[in-house]
């Protein structure tokens, strides 16, 4: 294991001359030396292409191809920073992400070029990796060596990542991560899970998220272990990949685990080398099912690209808990209104939380926080750092032994398939529908983990809800991301309001789909909207019961 304070650039450089396997995908294998050489070539190209005086930022809009870790490594060597761009973003919202982070170079592939059609991206140079033009552009730099091309001096504090994370309102924020913090995160996971060069890290989660880069790619660099890439997550391709690559470690989100459990069982389900998965929101029921079927332990964690607070699961962590504060963090559950620490959780005989109203509060880090801020967003920085504490914006409760339990997130936020979404942004899109007089978007719990999107629509006088027309409207919206379409649509005669004439979101959330109003839903992604009948509601409630969840928020 690497010791001391170091940078990601140092970790990339240490691959030079090492001819062990460094990177694999289905039809390509690169040695660690080839990875370092490829990174050095791209760093030299980057140094020549970046305009003088410009921020050394490049946007990466790629699936999990070898080019993604090569450009991350190149940026580290050059002292540049990568903005991971989410391909589920559309139109002006995607353009905003690119321009907000001052990207002067955009690395993409032909499959994503349609996303860029018609976008106004002044001053941004496009590199399309799977083209002959790209190969010709890169060829003169083939002999470059690590450390020769630097656009900014590399220190542990040198910015390396700008990873988008959604807040409760407005556009996504770009969280900053320096080389030292990313290297330290990798080292922490190597030590915690005893990872080594004999492991193989399988990366099937998208690399525009911190999950794949911070919790998978970085520890592989630290341990000197190879990484194996899957372009996009595939439930059917997961086990064949794991066997082909000899993978031992992977990261996940809860939805991926659910998809894997839905695949047909096979006598060969345990015929692999995989030993550990690390991620979020799998749920205790699915984690147990996964281990029973595949003989692979899933370890739940809590963290974010911001790095402001982290929770680690240790031996003895109770069912349902995430774990305790990571070493060095002074985490507390605080009443946001008073700033006072909430009392410990009190559990009923059946294990339910008896004092939810008192015990649930916002998780804060009262100690030294590694949070590095957001790119050019002082308002968001100030919201995160108040009175010397880091405020996560997530709701938790804590038992008498100090174990922390996740309880939800701010009312205006939704977390769908481990992506944070802002309700206001979805409302602004749905409000364009001609038949809608008023719109409210809110979260309802997913049967397994996280949230699903539910919308309440009050229709204009004389209008009827036409499910096909509504679906057509959604598909025509250029800025509606793939996670934003409502799973449930409640058609209300009038929008419920509070005494101050604001939409009564609490009442909507508490009702969920238990309402006499007509509720339309999509039984599966891409399926047409249909009425939620008593029979389909009963079947859906069985899914919640199977995972120990309720469609109504606990608090």
All residues at 6 or more sequence positions from 440 whose CB lies less than 8 Å from its CB, including other chains? 427, 455, 456, 495, 503, 505, 508
* pLDDT tens digits, one per residue of 178-214: 999 999 999 999 999 999 999 999 999 999 988 899 9
Q: Shortest CA distance to 2 belongs to which of 160, 183, 137?
A: 183
Query: pLDDT class for 2, splitting at 50, 70, 90?
Result: very low
Per-residue confidence (pLDDT) for residue 465, from 0 to 100: 96
Residues in the chain: 555
* pLDDT tens digits, one per residue of 136-195: 999 999 999 999 999 999 999 999 999 987 543 457 899 999 999 999 999 999 999 999
Average the pLDDT over 532-551 and give the result.
91
Query: pLDDT class for 1, splitting at 50, 70, 90?
Result: very low
Q: Where are the domains of the chain?
A: 8-178, 323-409, 413-546
* pLDDT tens digits, one per residue of 93-106: 999 999 999 999 99
In 187-266, the DSSP E strands lie at 201-203, 227-229, 249-253
Specify the CATH architecture of the domain 413-546: 2-Layer Sandwich (3.30)
* pLDDT tens digits, one per residue of 404-450: 987 766 665 677 887 756 676 788 789 889 898 888 889 999 998 88
Superfamily holding 323-409: Luciferase; Domain 3 (2.30.38.10)
Residue 440, CA distances (Å) to 23, 166, 296 in order = 46, 18, 41
Which one is predicted more confidently, 316 or 385?
385
pTM for the model: 0.80
Question: How far, in Å, CA of 261 to CA of 319, rounded?
Answer: 20
Question: How far, in Å, CA of 250 to CA of 272, rounded?
Answer: 13
* pLDDT tens digits, one per residue of 454-470: 999 999 888 999 999 99
Class of domain 8-178: alpha beta
Residue 500 has pLDDT above 80, yes or no: no
Residue 356 has pLDDT above 70, yes or no: no
Question: How far, in Å, CA of 453 to CA of 446, rounded?
Answer: 9
Lowest mean pLDDT among 268-272, 312-316, 417-421, 460-464: 417-421
Which one is predicted more confidently, 89 or 248?
248
Residue 423 is encoded by which pair of tokens?
A: 């309700």
Query: pLDDT class for 347, splitting at 50, 70, 90?
Result: confident
Average the pLDDT over 64-68 and give the result.
98
Interhelix angle 254-261/235-245, rounded to 10 degrees, is 90
């Amino acid at each position: 294991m690497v010791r001391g304070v170091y940078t990601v650039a140092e970790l990339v450089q240490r691959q030079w001359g090492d001819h062990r396997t460094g990177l694999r995908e289905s039809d390509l294998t690169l040695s660690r030396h080839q990875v370092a050489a490829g990174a050095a070539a791209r760093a030299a190209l980057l140094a020549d292409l970046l305009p003088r005086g410009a921020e050394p930022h490049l946007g990466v809009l790629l699936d999990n191809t070898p080019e993604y870790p090569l450009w991350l490594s190149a940026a580290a060597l050059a002292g540049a920073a990568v903005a991971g761009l989410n391909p589920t973003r559309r139109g002006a919202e995607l353009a905003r992400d690119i321009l907000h982070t001052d990207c002067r170079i955009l690395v993409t592939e032909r499959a994503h070029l349609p996303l860029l059609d018609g976008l106004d991206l002044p001053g941004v140079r496009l590199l399309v990796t799977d083209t002959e033009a790209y190969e010709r552009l890169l060829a003169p730099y083939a002999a470059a060596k690590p450390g020769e091309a630097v656009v900014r001096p590399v220190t542990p504090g040198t910015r390396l990542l700008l990873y988008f994370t959604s807040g409760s309102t407005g556009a996504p924020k770009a969280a900053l991560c320096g080389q030292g913090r990313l290297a330290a995160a990798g080292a922490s996971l190597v030590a915690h899970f005893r990872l080594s060069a004999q492991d193989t890290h399988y990366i099937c989660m998208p690399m525009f998220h911190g999950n794949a880069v911070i919790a998978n790619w970085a520890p592989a660099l630290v341990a000197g272990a190879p990484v194996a890439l899957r372009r996009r997550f595939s439930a059917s391709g997961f086990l064949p990949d794991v066997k082909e690559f000899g993978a031992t470690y992977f990261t996940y989100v809860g939805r991926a685990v659910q998809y894997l459990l839905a695949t047909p069982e096979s006598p060969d389900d345990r015929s692999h080398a995989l030993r550990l998965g690390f991620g979020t929101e799998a749920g205790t029921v699915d984690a147990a099912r996964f281990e029973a079927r595949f003989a692979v332990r899933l370890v739940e964690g809590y963290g974010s690209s911001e790095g402001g607070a982290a929770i680690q699961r240790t031996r003895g962590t109770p069912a349902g808990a995430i774990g305790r504060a990571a070493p060095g963090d002074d985490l507390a559950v605080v009443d946001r209104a008073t700033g006072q620490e909430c009392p410990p959780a009190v559990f009923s005989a059946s294990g339910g939380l008896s004092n939810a109203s008192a015990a649930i509060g916002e998780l804060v880090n009262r100690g030294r926080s590694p949070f590095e801020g957001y790119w050019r967003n002082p308002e968001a920085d100030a919201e995160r750092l108040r009175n010397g504490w880091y405020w996560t914006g997530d709701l938790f409760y804590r038992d008498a032994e100090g174990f922390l339990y996740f309880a939800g997130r701010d009312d205006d936020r939704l977390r769908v398939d481990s992506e944070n979404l802002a309700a206001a942004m979805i409302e602004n899109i749905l409000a364009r529908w001609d038949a809608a007089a008023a719109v409210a978007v809110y979260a309802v719990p997913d049967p397994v983990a996280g949230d699903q999107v539910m919308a309440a629509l009050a229709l204009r006088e004389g209008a009827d809800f036409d499910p096909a027309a509504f679906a057509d409207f959604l598909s025509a919206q250029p800025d509606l991301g793939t996670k934003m379409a409502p799973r449930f649509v409640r058609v209300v005669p009038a929008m419920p309001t509070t005494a101050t004439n604001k939409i009564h979101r609490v009442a909507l959330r508490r009702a969920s789909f238990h309402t006499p109003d007509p509720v339309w839903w999509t039984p599966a992604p891409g399926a047409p909207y249909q009425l939620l009948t008593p029979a389909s509601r009963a079947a859906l409630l069985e899914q919640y019961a199977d995972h120990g969840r309720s469609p109504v928020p606990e608090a």
